[in-house]
Structure 1
């Protein structure tokens, strides 16, 4: 019981961070595919190119893919969080100050999950982590030869 209350990391903490990033990325990706591809369902038809919903769909589609793969996770998460903050303040907040009433609860939750990924990183199950591991395993002589040019 004391271990659950302590600040010490639990055994699966980093893996759960990766799983959270993947699942939330897949959920977010559906918003983009719905807007831009009409899949799994299109609400209100396809947005006009260069309109705010079109840009939102582009960010959701691209950001969702990058987050699922764990590639460029921190920049993708930061951009997605920023998009969600803009959506909340310009779309939800003017309706009512309370997130439950204005429909912004999910928007806020997504925003803070993406901020978590931005600050905590993508976790060990990601292309970002694989690239870092590969760079750390490169022979020292090869790195010295690259820097000599």
Structure 2
């Protein structure tokens, strides 16, 4: 994930390996191209490096939205298709619950000067709920 916020905060990602480097996030202005660069061990750019054009939306949107528009639309369409066809989702109910419990623990910790919360995972939902109550992450 790479983006430059309107405040000027720039996120770039480098994945460095023994035979090359993947780099994304060389921000070229908004609106502007999105570069994904593959650098070879000898310092030359790999021919499969690509530049993608940003998606542009009409209207007043948050600065980052056009860059993620296609991904959001595809994810929403896949979700609707899975519901219509009865297909299994890409993540399970418990994986979604795990993520929400983690976010809740981080939120409560931030509100209480870094208080620590014990996180436990259960496949059994009633046991999961009990653990969240006992560990202060869910009000009974």
Q: TM-score, normalised by structure 1?
A: 0.26
Bigger relative contact order, structure 1 or 2 (CA pairs below 8 A, ≥6 apart)? 1
Q: TM-score, normalised by structure 2?
A: 0.27
Higher strand share: 2
Work out which of the two has the higher radius of gyration on C-alpha atoms and give 1 or 2: 2
